[in-house]
Amino acid sequence: MIFIVVSALAIVQAAPESSQSGFVSFIKTVFGFKNQPEQKSISAAQPINNSQNLAVLKAALNSDSLVGQGGSEINIIEENTLMPIFGPEAVSAENINQNQFGQISIYMVKEGDTLTGIAKLFNVSINTIFWSNNLARKDRIIPGQILVILPITGIKYEVQKGDAAEKIAEKFKGDTEEIIAFNNLLPGGELEAGQMIIIPDGQLPYSQVKFIPSEAPEYSGYYLRPISGGRKSQGLHGFNGVDLANYCGNPVFASAGGDVIIAQNYGWNGGYGKYTAINHLNGTQTLYSHLDSIVVSQGWNVVRGQTIGYIGSTGKSTGCHVHFEVRGAKNPF
Protein backbone atom coordinates (compact mmCIF):
# COMPACT_ATOMS: atom_id res chain seq x y z
CA MET A 1 0.00 0.00 0.00
CA ILE A 2 1.27 3.50 -0.82
CA PHE A 3 1.06 6.06 1.98
CA ILE A 4 0.77 9.78 1.38
CA VAL A 5 2.95 11.89 3.63
CA VAL A 6 2.48 15.61 3.87
CA SER A 7 5.73 16.98 5.24
CA ALA A 8 5.81 19.97 7.49
CA LEU A 9 8.80 21.02 5.41
CA ALA A 10 6.51 21.61 2.45
CA ILE A 11 4.06 23.91 4.15
CA VAL A 12 4.00 27.27 2.39
CA GLN A 13 3.33 30.40 4.36
CA ALA A 14 -0.33 30.74 3.44
CA ALA A 15 -1.79 32.77 6.28
CA PRO A 16 -1.40 36.46 7.17
CA GLU A 17 0.78 37.48 10.08
CA SER A 18 -0.59 36.37 13.45
CA SER A 19 -3.33 34.41 11.71
CA GLN A 20 -5.21 32.20 14.11
CA SER A 21 -6.88 29.97 11.55
CA GLY A 22 -7.18 26.30 12.46
CA PHE A 23 -4.28 24.07 11.59
CA VAL A 24 -6.37 21.45 9.82
CA SER A 25 -8.06 23.99 7.54
CA PHE A 26 -4.67 25.60 6.94
CA ILE A 27 -3.17 22.32 5.73
CA LYS A 28 -6.19 21.51 3.59
CA THR A 29 -6.11 24.94 1.98
CA VAL A 30 -2.49 24.39 0.95
CA PHE A 31 -3.44 21.17 -0.78
CA GLY A 32 -6.59 22.41 -2.47
CA PHE A 33 -9.20 21.02 -0.10
CA LYS A 34 -10.67 24.36 0.96
CA ASN A 35 -13.90 23.90 -1.01
CA GLN A 36 -14.61 20.47 0.37
CA PRO A 37 -16.82 20.00 3.42
CA GLU A 38 -14.89 19.83 6.67
CA GLN A 39 -14.42 16.45 8.32
CA LYS A 40 -15.42 16.39 11.93
CA SER A 41 -12.16 16.16 13.81
CA ILE A 42 -11.59 14.22 16.99
CA SER A 43 -11.78 16.31 20.10
CA ALA A 44 -8.60 16.77 22.08
CA ALA A 45 -8.12 14.50 25.05
CA GLN A 46 -5.93 14.70 28.11
CA PRO A 47 -2.61 12.78 28.05
CA ILE A 48 -3.14 9.07 28.42
CA ASN A 49 -0.08 7.08 29.38
CA ASN A 50 1.85 6.78 32.60
CA SER A 51 4.66 9.12 31.59
CA GLN A 52 2.23 11.79 30.54
CA ASN A 53 0.39 11.61 33.84
CA LEU A 54 3.55 12.32 35.78
CA ALA A 55 3.38 15.61 37.61
CA VAL A 56 4.92 18.47 35.65
CA LEU A 57 8.30 19.17 37.17
CA LYS A 58 8.73 22.71 38.39
CA ALA A 59 12.18 23.65 39.73
CA ALA A 60 13.00 27.08 41.06
CA LEU A 61 16.02 28.91 39.67
CA ASN A 62 18.58 30.11 42.24
CA SER A 63 19.10 33.85 42.03
CA ASP A 64 22.86 33.42 41.70
CA SER A 65 22.96 30.47 39.30
CA LEU A 66 21.47 29.79 35.88
CA VAL A 67 21.84 26.04 35.66
CA GLY A 68 18.73 24.96 33.77
CA GLN A 69 19.18 21.72 31.90
CA GLY A 70 16.89 19.21 30.31
CA GLY A 71 15.85 17.81 27.00
CA SER A 72 13.46 15.29 25.63
CA GLU A 73 12.91 11.61 25.25
CA ILE A 74 11.69 12.12 21.69
CA ASN A 75 14.12 12.06 18.83
CA ILE A 76 14.95 9.15 16.55
CA ILE A 77 15.27 5.38 16.55
CA GLU A 78 18.54 4.05 15.17
CA GLU A 79 19.18 7.32 13.30
CA ASN A 80 16.17 6.73 11.02
CA THR A 81 13.30 9.20 11.03
CA LEU A 82 11.07 10.80 8.45
CA MET A 83 11.90 11.73 4.89
CA PRO A 84 12.40 15.48 4.39
CA ILE A 85 10.02 16.31 1.55
CA PHE A 86 10.52 19.64 -0.17
CA GLY A 87 7.10 19.79 -1.80
CA PRO A 88 3.59 18.31 -1.48
CA GLU A 89 4.63 14.99 -2.98
CA ALA A 90 3.54 11.42 -2.44
CA VAL A 91 6.31 9.09 -1.31
CA SER A 92 6.26 5.35 -0.91
CA ALA A 93 6.76 3.73 2.45
CA GLU A 94 10.22 2.44 1.59
CA ASN A 95 11.46 6.03 1.32
CA ILE A 96 10.31 7.11 4.77
CA ASN A 97 13.53 6.17 6.57
CA GLN A 98 15.80 8.40 4.46
CA ASN A 99 15.46 11.53 6.59
CA GLN A 100 18.86 12.61 7.85
CA PHE A 101 17.86 15.65 9.85
CA GLY A 102 14.83 14.52 11.86
CA GLN A 103 12.22 17.09 10.92
CA ILE A 104 8.77 16.82 12.41
CA SER A 105 6.28 15.83 9.71
CA ILE A 106 2.55 15.99 9.14
CA TYR A 107 0.50 12.99 8.00
CA MET A 108 -2.99 13.12 6.48
CA VAL A 109 -5.07 10.06 7.35
CA LYS A 110 -6.42 8.06 4.40
CA GLU A 111 -9.29 5.60 4.08
CA GLY A 112 -8.28 2.30 5.66
CA ASP A 113 -5.49 3.74 7.82
CA THR A 114 -5.02 2.50 11.37
CA LEU A 115 -2.92 3.95 14.16
CA THR A 116 -0.96 0.71 14.27
CA GLY A 117 -0.19 0.93 10.56
CA ILE A 118 0.84 4.59 10.75
CA ALA A 119 3.05 3.89 13.76
CA LYS A 120 4.78 1.06 11.91
CA LEU A 121 5.20 3.19 8.79
CA PHE A 122 7.07 5.85 10.74
CA ASN A 123 8.79 3.43 13.13
CA VAL A 124 7.29 5.12 16.18
CA SER A 125 5.19 3.99 19.12
CA ILE A 126 1.41 4.30 19.02
CA ASN A 127 1.75 6.12 22.34
CA THR A 128 3.86 8.76 20.61
CA ILE A 129 1.05 9.40 18.12
CA PHE A 130 -1.50 9.48 20.95
CA TRP A 131 0.19 12.14 23.05
CA SER A 132 1.56 14.27 20.21
CA ASN A 133 -1.99 14.63 18.85
CA ASN A 134 -3.93 14.81 22.13
CA LEU A 135 -5.73 11.53 21.42
CA ALA A 136 -7.14 9.10 23.94
CA ARG A 137 -7.13 5.35 23.35
CA LYS A 138 -10.87 5.35 22.65
CA ASP A 139 -10.51 7.94 19.88
CA ARG A 140 -10.67 6.86 16.25
CA ILE A 141 -8.88 8.49 13.36
CA ILE A 142 -10.84 9.53 10.27
CA PRO A 143 -9.84 10.19 6.64
CA GLY A 144 -8.61 13.74 6.16
CA GLN A 145 -7.50 14.09 9.77
CA ILE A 146 -4.07 15.66 10.25
CA LEU A 147 -1.57 13.94 12.56
CA VAL A 148 1.71 15.32 13.85
CA ILE A 149 4.46 12.69 13.57
CA LEU A 150 7.39 13.25 15.91
CA PRO A 151 10.64 11.38 15.46
CA ILE A 152 11.62 9.59 18.64
CA THR A 153 14.92 8.56 20.06
CA GLY A 154 15.82 5.32 21.69
CA ILE A 155 17.44 1.95 21.44
CA LYS A 156 15.83 -1.24 20.22
CA TYR A 157 16.77 -3.94 22.70
CA GLU A 158 16.17 -7.68 22.88
CA VAL A 159 15.34 -8.72 26.43
CA GLN A 160 17.73 -11.25 27.94
CA LYS A 161 16.94 -13.85 30.57
CA GLY A 162 16.81 -12.23 34.00
CA ASP A 163 16.37 -8.70 32.65
CA ALA A 164 14.08 -6.26 34.44
CA ALA A 165 12.91 -2.84 33.30
CA GLU A 166 14.82 -1.14 36.13
CA LYS A 167 18.04 -2.99 35.25
CA ILE A 168 17.72 -2.12 31.56
CA ALA A 169 17.01 1.53 32.36
CA GLU A 170 20.15 1.73 34.49
CA LYS A 171 22.32 0.05 31.85
CA PHE A 172 21.22 2.31 29.00
CA LYS A 173 20.62 5.51 31.02
CA GLY A 174 16.89 5.42 30.41
CA ASP A 175 13.91 5.84 32.71
CA THR A 176 12.08 2.84 34.13
CA GLU A 177 8.61 4.42 34.01
CA GLU A 178 9.18 5.58 30.44
CA ILE A 179 10.21 2.07 29.36
CA ILE A 180 7.09 0.59 30.97
CA ALA A 181 4.77 3.21 29.44
CA PHE A 182 6.37 3.26 26.00
CA ASN A 183 6.21 -0.52 25.57
CA ASN A 184 2.78 -0.97 27.21
CA LEU A 185 4.23 -3.23 29.89
CA LEU A 186 2.39 -4.28 33.01
CA PRO A 187 2.89 -1.96 36.01
CA GLY A 188 5.61 -4.22 37.41
CA GLY A 189 7.52 -4.05 34.15
CA GLU A 190 7.57 -7.83 33.63
CA LEU A 191 9.61 -8.93 30.62
CA GLU A 192 10.16 -12.14 28.68
CA ALA A 193 13.45 -13.26 27.17
CA GLY A 194 13.50 -12.53 23.44
CA GLN A 195 10.98 -9.70 23.71
CA MET A 196 11.91 -6.60 21.68
CA ILE A 197 11.45 -3.29 23.48
CA ILE A 198 12.35 0.34 22.87
CA ILE A 199 14.27 2.30 25.50
CA PRO A 200 13.22 5.95 25.11
CA ASP A 201 16.22 8.29 25.22
CA GLY A 202 18.49 5.29 25.78
CA GLN A 203 22.21 5.62 25.19
CA LEU A 204 24.56 2.91 24.02
CA PRO A 205 27.36 2.57 26.57
CA TYR A 206 30.11 2.50 23.96
CA SER A 207 29.10 5.40 21.74
CA GLN A 208 27.07 8.56 21.65
CA VAL A 209 24.43 8.72 18.95
CA LYS A 210 24.81 11.71 16.65
CA PHE A 211 21.39 13.09 15.87
CA ILE A 212 22.51 15.70 13.33
CA PRO A 213 25.20 14.68 10.82
CA SER A 214 28.10 16.96 10.01
CA GLU A 215 26.73 17.69 6.53
CA ALA A 216 23.62 19.41 7.90
CA PRO A 217 23.23 22.86 6.28
CA GLU A 218 24.23 26.01 8.11
CA TYR A 219 22.17 29.20 7.83
CA SER A 220 24.35 31.99 9.15
CA GLY A 221 22.32 34.85 10.64
CA TYR A 222 18.97 33.18 9.99
CA TYR A 223 18.14 32.18 13.57
CA LEU A 224 17.61 34.64 16.40
CA ARG A 225 18.67 33.60 19.89
CA PRO A 226 15.30 32.70 21.45
CA ILE A 227 15.86 34.40 24.82
CA SER A 228 17.43 37.64 26.00
CA GLY A 229 20.40 37.44 28.35
CA GLY A 230 20.96 34.43 30.57
CA ARG A 231 23.48 31.79 29.66
CA LYS A 232 23.91 28.49 27.86
CA SER A 233 23.54 25.96 30.65
CA GLN A 234 24.10 22.89 28.49
CA GLY A 235 25.71 22.52 25.08
CA LEU A 236 24.61 20.45 22.12
CA HIS A 237 22.71 17.36 23.24
CA GLY A 238 19.58 15.36 22.52
CA PHE A 239 18.13 16.22 19.13
CA ASN A 240 20.48 19.03 18.08
CA GLY A 241 19.37 21.04 21.07
CA VAL A 242 20.96 23.43 23.56
CA ASP A 243 19.71 24.64 26.93
CA LEU A 244 19.49 28.41 27.39
CA ALA A 245 18.84 29.41 30.99
CA ASN A 246 17.32 32.52 32.47
CA TYR A 247 14.64 33.31 35.04
CA CYS A 248 11.27 31.58 34.81
CA GLY A 249 8.68 33.88 33.27
CA ASN A 250 11.09 35.62 30.89
CA PRO A 251 9.84 35.67 27.28
CA VAL A 252 10.84 33.15 24.61
CA PHE A 253 11.01 34.47 21.05
CA ALA A 254 10.47 32.86 17.65
CA SER A 255 13.96 32.24 16.31
CA ALA A 256 12.70 32.82 12.77
CA GLY A 257 9.38 33.53 11.11
CA GLY A 258 7.07 30.72 10.10
CA ASP A 259 4.01 28.64 10.94
CA VAL A 260 3.35 27.09 14.35
CA ILE A 261 2.93 23.35 13.82
CA ILE A 262 2.78 22.27 17.47
CA ALA A 263 1.63 24.10 20.59
CA GLN A 264 1.31 21.73 23.56
CA ASN A 265 0.31 23.75 26.61
CA TYR A 266 0.04 20.85 29.06
CA GLY A 267 1.41 17.39 29.74
CA TRP A 268 4.70 15.55 30.11
CA ASN A 269 5.05 15.18 26.34
CA GLY A 270 7.89 12.71 26.37
CA GLY A 271 10.00 14.97 28.57
CA TYR A 272 9.49 18.21 26.65
CA GLY A 273 6.83 19.48 29.03
CA LYS A 274 5.00 22.43 27.50
CA TYR A 275 6.51 23.02 24.07
CA THR A 276 5.96 24.52 20.66
CA ALA A 277 7.52 24.05 17.23
CA ILE A 278 7.69 26.33 14.19
CA ASN A 279 8.10 25.43 10.51
CA HIS A 280 10.28 27.92 8.60
CA LEU A 281 10.42 28.89 4.93
CA ASN A 282 13.98 27.57 4.54
CA GLY A 283 12.69 24.04 5.16
CA THR A 284 13.82 23.78 8.78
CA GLN A 285 12.01 23.72 12.10
CA THR A 286 12.75 25.04 15.56
CA LEU A 287 11.42 23.60 18.80
CA TYR A 288 11.13 25.27 22.20
CA SER A 289 10.43 23.14 25.28
CA HIS A 290 10.09 23.17 29.09
CA LEU A 291 8.04 26.37 28.77
CA ASP A 292 5.98 27.76 31.63
CA SER A 293 3.26 28.77 29.18
CA ILE A 294 2.67 29.16 25.44
CA VAL A 295 0.95 32.19 23.90
CA VAL A 296 0.59 30.96 20.30
CA SER A 297 -1.63 28.28 18.81
CA GLN A 298 -1.23 25.63 16.15
CA GLY A 299 -1.69 27.19 12.70
CA TRP A 300 -0.58 30.70 13.66
CA ASN A 301 1.93 32.55 11.52
CA VAL A 302 4.62 34.23 13.62
CA VAL A 303 7.42 36.65 12.82
CA ARG A 304 11.05 36.55 13.89
CA GLY A 305 11.39 37.84 17.44
CA GLN A 306 7.70 37.46 18.33
CA THR A 307 7.01 36.24 21.87
CA ILE A 308 5.73 32.66 21.68
CA GLY A 309 5.92 31.63 25.32
CA TYR A 310 7.70 32.03 28.64
CA ILE A 311 10.66 30.24 30.20
CA GLY A 312 9.74 27.48 32.63
CA SER A 313 10.89 24.11 33.91
CA THR A 314 8.18 21.69 32.80
CA GLY A 315 8.78 18.11 31.73
CA LYS A 316 12.19 16.49 32.11
CA SER A 317 13.93 19.59 33.38
CA THR A 318 16.17 20.91 36.13
CA GLY A 319 15.98 24.66 36.58
CA CYS A 320 14.42 27.43 34.53
CA HIS A 321 15.49 27.31 30.89
CA VAL A 322 14.36 26.71 27.33
CA HIS A 323 15.54 23.62 25.48
CA PHE A 324 16.01 24.92 21.93
CA GLU A 325 16.31 22.56 18.96
CA VAL A 326 16.96 23.21 15.28
CA ARG A 327 15.73 20.42 13.03
CA GLY A 328 17.14 20.35 9.52
CA ALA A 329 20.21 22.54 10.06
CA LYS A 330 23.10 23.14 12.44
CA ASN A 331 22.18 24.77 15.72
CA PRO A 332 24.03 28.13 15.82
CA PHE A 333 23.79 28.43 19.60
Please give the domain boundaries of the chain with CATH numbers for all domains: 55-73+211-327 (2.70.70.10), 154-200 (3.10.350.10)
Those residues whose C-beta lies under 8 Å from the C-beta of residue 187, and which sit 6 or more positions away, are 180
Question: What average pLDDT score do residues 304-326 get?
Answer: 95
pLDDT above 60 for 272: yes
DSSP state letter for 52: G
Confidence class of residue 70 from pLDDT cuts 50, 70 and 90?
low
Instruction: Tell me what pLDDT residue 138 has.
Output: 75
Of 63-77, 111-125, 251-265, 284-298, which range is least confident? 63-77
Q: How many residues does the chain have?
A: 333
Handedness of CA 189, 193, 197, 200 (dihedral sign): positive
**Which contiguous run of DSSP H or E holds residue 235?**
strand 231-237
Question: What is the model's pLDDT at position 214?
Answer: 58
Is the pLDDT assigned to residue 56 strictly greater than 70? no
pLDDT of residue 312: 97
Mean pLDDT on 163-182: 83
Q: What CA–CA distance (Å, rounded) separates 37 from 160?
A: 53
Position with higher pLDDT, 29 vs 332: 332
How many C-beta atoms surround the C-beta of residue 184 within 10 A? 12
Burial letters 190-216, b for 16+ CB under 10 A, else e: ebeeeeebbbbbbbeeeeeeebbeeeb
What pLDDT score does 147 carry?
86
User: Nearest 5°: phi and psi at 254?
Assistant: -65, 125
Query: What mean pLDDT is reported for the chain?
Result: 70
Structure-model confidence comparison of residues 307 and 122, the more confident one = 307
